[in-house]
Amino acid sequence: MLRVRARRARAPSAGRVRDGAARELRPRRRGDGRAAGPEACDGARARRSRSHASLRPARDPSRSLHSRNPDACCALRKIAPLRRALADHSGWITGRKRYQSGTRAHLEFFEVETGKIKVNPLARRSPQDIREYMEENRLPRHPLVAQGYPSIGCAPCTSKVETGEDPRAGRWRDQDKDECGIHFVNGKLVRAGT
């Protein structure tokens, strides 16, 4: 029997969305808004290069690791770059919220992870709180939300969410995975005091 698997629509490029938001919001102060990814393995080389394709990691030359081993792909493209980006910093700020998933239900405002302080300023905020804040401060809604992506991950592993589905249902659809791993240490969810 011939099996035909429907191809999922891929999420639009997060880089294009990020760049558009940066132009639209025009920050008043310049901060350290660096992008971190597998291409930035050698920061000096990445800054000199105009072609990210030339910096493609040797561990995934075909760019298909996500389809064979999503955990290894997240480790390569998210976990390792974040570790490098945080190496010279004592902490970082996340946008995680308790309502997003069961694994985040008891999220604290401050956490300590691998010796670094992690601040979750939105942890106790509700979806209504977020909407009201965005309206009061005239913040633009992420354009992918209106296109059916209420929870946004990387393009190959994020699919549109149908009406009535959990907002994170489009993340690693049909796989036994619901977090990329940047909030885990040694495969375990880390909480303050545990």
- 154 carries an active-site annotation: no
What's the chain's Rg over C-alpha atoms? 18
Contacts of residue 166, defined as CB under 8 A and 6 or more positions apart, other chains included, come to: none
Contacts of residue 95, defined as CB under 8 A and 6 or more positions apart, other chains included, come to: 122
Active-site positions? 180
